[in-house]
Every structure is written in structure tokens, then in C-alpha cells.
């Protein structure tokens, strides 16, 4: 039955018009992904009113191609300019931009785009193979497990803390506090808004991300001599991109592991893409032979989050189709499009409409490959951005940052927030506080609190005594303890760190 449905799905791909929609969606997704402030959500919301004019067989590929490629597009600005295109590209900044500064921007871009495109590809393969195994698992998950999955993401604060652990933990803690600003999901009571209506909905995320990362970097570029690339020798673009592509194959184990993490977290509704990228990064660092080099601009630090950020979309698609529960914000809009066209997601999608579900997965698979391919074609030219004279690059990027912060809500006050967080980011950068750890706290803090209270309300004080929770707790402990254990038990490893 499965093979029949698979072949029927493939038959639908023989229609040449469908490919027009896939390519159009791919390009839209890439463009919206690489412009900060815009995202696949914006693109899909703009297209949603026109969905009823299209046939489902064309509308869904368009939406899925947009959704699949925005995080791939977002990696371009993250790597080259330290400006996260979308929120799921934040972890890529940690090693991507330092690589650009070392003159390896093309290589980082090649690795990021390949890992991202292939991550999306493999997640669909996972979906097709693991469909019968994953669904019962997802059905059995409750808020308790969500809490510990988010804790897994939060435990990466310790992993992200290079240099001073104390400052890393402080940064993560401050991030968590910032996440609590605004209306509390459980009680509906406003907190830490100091009487301001602006802060009732919490601190707007895009001005915060751009302020903490992009603005300080631009200021530092000017202050440190007006050059984005600090090394005199820059690796040639095409050769660099190809080197990045090869890197993904060289580190295929890491890529596969990160894609799997992204896929599993994507399958679980409500945990969010940020958890996926940080957990993938954390795992990559903790189980690396040279964790001390993470954060200094190494290619493994780019491959891990990029593989996870696209793989989570494949997982989210599975949950959306089979359960009717959107696994991510993009999937909410995809669900909306399905409803508009009179197709109800749910168990029907894995029985009567199985060929359609499989066709959608095939479409996603194709769009991930096309997106990756298009990006790799233009990557050598994009990588030259890093060599543009600062007197042109700085005002251009500053304008992009301001537009990114402004366009989400169209409020002037968001620009003030941008400047405030720009100043905070600059101070943090100067004094060695950990900005990714702060972002991690901000992203996961709210989710953590929400699921914690739901878990407590439903399962009581000992909510963590469920078998799946205990397994996740065990994995968490391993993630945190692996580094100290290696330091204690392996003297050779300790020597290696000292040498580095």
C-alpha cells in the first residue's frame, strides 16, 4: 500500500506546472529568508489570501517550498554579516561569522547551504521511513516531556559558554528573565513591563536579535579598522564553497546526527526550531574531539545547526499532516492553506489521502534540493560581500538591520529597542559575556515556563516520574556531564585542550 501510494505521489510530480510552483516557492523562500525581519511566515501570510484561486496540487508545493527554503536563505546573512535572517539561524552565527572574519566565508557558506539543503532532504527520508514508529511516540508525549526537551535546549547555555562559564550562565539567566517580560501565558498577568503597554506582548524578538548580534558587529567593524575580513588572505570563492560542500561529506556523521536531532524535535509540536538548532550545536560540541575550538569559527559549528534547522521542517510536516497539529509557526499557515482548500489534515492523510501526503513529502524533498543547488550556484558571488569596502557595507547593512527591526510591526519604538539592545550587545561583546546564551534563554524561557506549569497542573509535583521524561532527563545529564567526565578521565584530552 505504501509503495503504491508513493508511486502515485511520484506520478503527480510528472505535471510540469507543479515544478513551476516548486521553483517559485523555493526562490521566494530563499529571498524572504535572507532578508532580516522577513521570513517564510510573512511570505506565506501574503500568499494565503490567494490560495483559494489555486488548485491544492499547486498551492501546497508552493507553500512547502517557501517553508523549506527560508532557513536556508537565512544562513547566508548569518554567515556573511552576522545578521540572522530568521530566528532559526541564530546558532549559525556562533561559528559562521568568525569563519567569514578569518577569510573563510565562502567555505562556511558552502557548508551551511549544503548541510541545510541536505538536512531538509534527509528529514523527508526519515519521515518516509519512520512514519509508523514516530507517530505513536509523538502521541504519547505530554507537557512533562516538553519541559525536559526544552531543558535539553537550555542546558546548552553551559555548552555555549566558552571562556568564562560564570559569564555564560549569567547571560543565559538574563535571557530567561527577559523571556518573562510581558503577559504570562498561564495567568495572563503582565510582568516586568513597568507600566508600559509596549512591553505587554514581551520584548519584540527581531529588534532584540538584530540589536544583540548585528549592530555591535557593524560598530566593531568600523572601530577595528573598517574590514569585515580580518585575515589578509581570503580563500577564493568557488574553491571555498566547494571546500564547504566537501566538509559536509567529511563530517557526514555529524551532519546525520544533527539532522536526526532536528527531525525528532521538529516532529514534536510546540518545542520550536530554536531548541533543535541549539541542541544540535550542543551535542556537536560536547561529543567533538576538540570542543574548545567551537565558537572560534570551525566548520562543524556551522554544519550542526544548519542541518538541524531545515530537518525540523520535515519533522513538522509529518505532525501537521498526520495529526493536524502544526509542528511550527510556518505549519500553522500551511494548515490554514489546507483548510481554505477544504482538505482536513489528520488520520485521513495517512490512510485515504496517503498518496497526497507522500507527494507533499516528495515536493519538500525536491524543493530542499533545488534551494540548496540555487544557493550553491550564487554562493561564490555572495561570499564576495565580505570584501566590499566598509564605507559601503556598513551603511547598507545598517539600513538592512533597521528595516528588519521595523518591518515586522512597523513601529518606530522597535528601532529604539534595537538601539538599546545594540548597546547591550556591544557591552556584552566587549566584556566577554555570551550573547548566544542570552538569546537561548530568551527563546526558550517562555516555553519552559508554560510547559512546566501545565505539567505540574496535570501530573502533580512528581510530574517527571514518567518513563519518557526519565529517558530525556538521562540524555540531558549525559549532555551536561560528558565534558567534565572526559576532562577527569582522559588526561590526554586535557593536554589537548591546554595545547589549543
Q: Which C-beta is closer to other proteins: that of 215 or that of 307?
A: 215
Closest separation in Å from C-beta 415 to other proteins: 6
Q: Is residue 485 packed enough to be buried (19+ CB in 10 Å), middle (13-18) or exposed (0-12)?
A: exposed
Closest separation in Å from C-beta 228 to other proteins: 14
Q: What are φ and ψ of residue 280, in 5° steps?
A: -60, -45
Closest separation in Å from C-beta 105 to other proteins: 22
- Reduced to 3 states (helix: H, G, I; strand: E, B; else coil), residue 500 is coil
297: left (phi over 0), alpha (psi -120 to 50) or beta: left
Closest separation in Å from C-beta 426 to other proteins: 6
The C-alpha angle 34, 37, 43, rounded to 5 degrees, equals 75
Nearest CA-CA partner of 475 in 210, 202, 264? 264
Q: Which C-beta is closer to other proteins: that of 281 or that of 433?
A: 433
Closest separation in Å from C-beta 205 to other proteins: 18
Q: Which residues bind other proteins (CB under 8 A)?
A: 35, 38, 42, 46, 163-164, 166-167, 169-170, 173-174, 176-177, 180, 184, 186-187, 189, 191-192, 215, 218-220, 222-224, 226, 390-392, 394-396, 398-399, 402-403, 406-407, 410, 412, 415-416, 419, 422-423, 426-427, 430-433, 448-449, 452-453
Q: Which C-beta is closer to other proteins: that of 142 or that of 191?
A: 191
Cα(17)–Cα(355) distance, integer angstroms:
18
Q: Which C-beta is closer to other proteins: that of 180 or that of 198?
A: 180
Q: Which C-beta is closer to other proteins: that of 163 or that of 496?
A: 163
Q: Which C-beta is closer to other proteins: that of 344 or that of 494?
A: 494
Q: Which C-beta is closer to other proteins: that of 169 or that of 229?
A: 169
Task: Please name every residue paired with 183 in a beta bridge, in sequence order, or none if there are none.
Answer: 190
Nearest CA-CA partner of 356 in 55, 24, 130, 132? 55
Q: Which C-beta is closer to other proteins: that of 137 or that of 219?
A: 219
DSSP structural state of residue 171 = H
Contact between 190 and 373 under an 8 Å Cβ cutoff? The reply is: no
Place of cell 532559526: 88
Contact between 43 and 65 under an 8 Å Cβ cutoff? The reply is: no
Contact between 414 and 151 under an 8 Å Cβ cutoff? The reply is: no
492: left (phi over 0), alpha (psi -120 to 50) or beta: alpha
Closest separation in Å from C-beta 192 to other proteins: 6
Q: Which C-beta is closer to other proteins: that of 238 or that of 419?
A: 419
Closest separation in Å from C-beta 492 to other proteins: 24
Closest separation in Å from C-beta 384 to other proteins: 17
Q: Which C-beta is closer to other proteins: that of 6 or that of 180?
A: 180
Strand residues in 254-406 grouped as ranges (E): none
Closest separation in Å from C-beta 167 to other proteins: 8
Closest separation in Å from C-beta 207 to other proteins: 12
Contact between 262 and 123 under an 8 Å Cβ cutoff? The reply is: yes
Q: What are φ and ψ of residue 190, in 5° steps?
A: -75, 140
Q: Which helix (H) or strand (E) holds 191?
A: strand 190-191
Cα(112)–Cα(110) distance, integer angstroms:
6
Amino acid at each position: 500500500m505504501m509503495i503504491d501510494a508513493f508511486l502515485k505521489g511520484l506520478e503527480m510530480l510528472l505535471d510540469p506546472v507543479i515544478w513551476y510552483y516548486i521553483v517559485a516557492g523555493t526562490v521566494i523562500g530563499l529571498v524572504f529568508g535572507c532578508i532580516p525581519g522577513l521570513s517564510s511566515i510573512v511570505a506565506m501570510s501574503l500568499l494565503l489570501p490567494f490560495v483559494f484561486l489555486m488548485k491544492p496540487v499547486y498551492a501546497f508545493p508552493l507553500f512547502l517550498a517557501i517553508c523549506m527554503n527560508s532557513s536556508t536563505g537565512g544562513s547566508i546573512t548569518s554567515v556573511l554579516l552576522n545578521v540572522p535572517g530568521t530566528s532559526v539561524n541564530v546558532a549559525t552565527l556562533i561559528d559562521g561569522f568568525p569563519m567569514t572574519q578569518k577569510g573563510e566565508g565562502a567555505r562556511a557558506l558552502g557548508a551551511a547551504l549544503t548541510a541545510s539543503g541536505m538536512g531538509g532532504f534527509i528529514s523527508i527520508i526519515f519521515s518516509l521511513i519512520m512514519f509508523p514508529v514516530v507517530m505513536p511516540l509523538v502521541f504519547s508525549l505530554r507537557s512533562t516531556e516538553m519541559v525536559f526537551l526544552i531543558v535539553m535546549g537550555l542546558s546548552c547555555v553551559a555548552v555555549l559558554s566558552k571562556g568564562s562559564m560564570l559569564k555564560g550562565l549569567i547571560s543565559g539567566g538574563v535571557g530567561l528573565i527577559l523571556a518573562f517580560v510581558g503577559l504570562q501565558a498561564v495567568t495572563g498577568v503582565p510582568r516586568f513591563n513597568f507600566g508600559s503597554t509596549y512591553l505587554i506582548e514581551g520584548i519584540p524578538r527581531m529588534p532584540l536579535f538584530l540589536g544583540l548580534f548585528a549592530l555591535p558587529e557593524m560598530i566593531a567593524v568600523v572601530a577595528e579598522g573598517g574590514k569585515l575580513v580580518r585575515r589578509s588572505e581570503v580563500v577564493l570563492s568557488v574553491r571555498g564553497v566547494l571546500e564547504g560542500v566537501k566538509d559536509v561529506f567529511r563530517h557526514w556523521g555529524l551532519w546525520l546526527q544533527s539532522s536526526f536531532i532536528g527531525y525528532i524535535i521538529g516532529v514534536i509540536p510546540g518545542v520550536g526550531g530554536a531548541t533543535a538548532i541549539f541542541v544540535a550545536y550542543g551535542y556537536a560540541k560536547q561529543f567533538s574531539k576538540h570542543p574548545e575550538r567551537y565558537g572560534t569559527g570551525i566548520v562543524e559549528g556551522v554544519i550542526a545547526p544548519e542541518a538541524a534547522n531545515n530537518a525540523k521542517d520535515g519533522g513538522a510536516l509529518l505532525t501537521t499532516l498526520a495529526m493536524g497539529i502544526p509542528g511550527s509557526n510556518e505549519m500553522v499557515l500551511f494548515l490554514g492553506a489546507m483548510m481554505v482548500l477544504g482538505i482536513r489534515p489528520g488520520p485521513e492523510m495517512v490512510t485515504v489521502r496517503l498518496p497526497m501526503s507522500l507527494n507533499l513529502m516528495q515536493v519538500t524533498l525536491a524543493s530542499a534540493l533545488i534551494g540548496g543547488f540555487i544557493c550553491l550556484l550564487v554562493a561564490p558571488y555572495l561570499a564576495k560581500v565580505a570584501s566590499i569596502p566598509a564605507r559601503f557595507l556598513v551603511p547598507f547593512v545598517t539600513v538592512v538591520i533597521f528595516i528588519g527591526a521595523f518591518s515586522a510591526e512597523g513601529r518606530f519604538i522597535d528601532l529604539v529597542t534595537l538601539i538599546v539592545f545594540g548597546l547591550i550587545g556591544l557591552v556584552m561583546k566587549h566584556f566577554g559575556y555570551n550573547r548566544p546564551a542570552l538569546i537561548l534563554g530568551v527563546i526558550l524561557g517562555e516555553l519552559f515556563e508554560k510547559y512546566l506549569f501545565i505539567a505540574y497542573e496535570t501530573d502533580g509535583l512528581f510530574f517527571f516520574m514518567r518513563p519518557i521524561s526519565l529517558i530525556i532527563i538521562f540524555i540531558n545529564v549525559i549532555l551536561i556531564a560528558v565534558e567534565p567526565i572526559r576532562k577527569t578521565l582522559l588526561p590526554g584530552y586535557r593536554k589537548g585542550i591546554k595545547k589549543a
